[in-house]
Amino acid sequence: MKTALITGGTKGIGKAIALEFLAQGYEVVINYHSDEQTAIATQEEFNMLGYCPVLMRADVSDEAQVKQMFKEFFGIYEKLDVLVNNAGISLVRVIQDTSAYDWDKVFGVNAKGVFYCCRAVTDMMICNGGGSIINISSIWGEVGASCEVAYSASKGAVIAFTKALAKELAPSKVRVNCVSPGVIDTDMNSRLTEEEMESLIEQIPAGRIGYPEDVAKACIYLAEADYVTGEVLSVGGGFGK
């Protein structure tokens, strides 16, 4: 049985990714940080569908917590086939109002969290003959977004990190890829007004916003595509191209 761990997997894109891997027959571990109520509700929802994911709590921006999470993971499972680094936070603020604390907090989760998780699994994946790491970036990491400098920069860092690590691990049969969602129907975009959303849709060649399931399907593809590594797969209906 193949295994997958999805960080930030209790809602939105992460939840859809977890469900897709469960549907494909994977044993799935869902990481969450602080919202235990939502985590348990998600687990119960999946139980009702006949799936039995495991919940593991950890703040991915905390090195010690990440180490403990994977110690717990490898205490249950012999190997990890797929790691999906989905956990992320956003920040909408002009540069003048962005503090050093804001910057560090965004990078702590979005970039450092990816680093900690990847580093924690690399040796085990190599020893087990390979694996797949999928990092979730953003279209704003590719093209940048006004008033989201910290978020855009952190997601751009994820893309550069992915490309570099893919080259480093390819000889060991560990593939590292990146999914770059466009405008997706999630809580993170619920702050947009109806007018702002309509304006964005007008810029999307596909004529609609994306859904978490669209991103999940891309992750499944990358998890199974044995000759694909170092790639950034945009899931945005042509937005930003």
pLDDT in tens, 182-198: 999 887 777 777 888 88
| pLDDT range class, residue 178, cuts 50, 70, 90 | very high
Residue 84 has a pLDDT of 98
- Among candidate residues 10, 117, 114, the one with its CA nearest the CA of residue 53: 10
Summarised one tens digit per residue, pLDDT across range 33-84 is 999 999 999 999 999 999 999 999 999 999 999 999 999 999 999 999 999 9
Summarised one tens digit per residue, pLDDT across range 81-102 is 999 999 999 999 999 999 999 9
Catalytic residue among 151, 211, 221, 227: 151
pTM of the predicted structure, to 2 decimals: 0.95
Q: Quick check: is 26 catalytic?
A: no
- String of b and e for 153-178 (b: at least 16 CB within 10 Å)? bbbbbbbebbbebbeebeeeebbbbb
Question: Which range (27-41, 152-166, 188-202) has the least confidence?
Answer: 188-202
Share of the chain above pLDDT 70, in %: 100
Averaged pLDDT of the chain: 95
Share of the chain above pLDDT 90, in %: 90
- String of b and e for 102-137 (b: at least 16 CB within 10 Å)? ebebbbbbbbbbbbbbbebbbebbeeeeebbbbbbb
Element (H, E) at 150: helix 149-169
Residue 199 has a pLDDT of 85
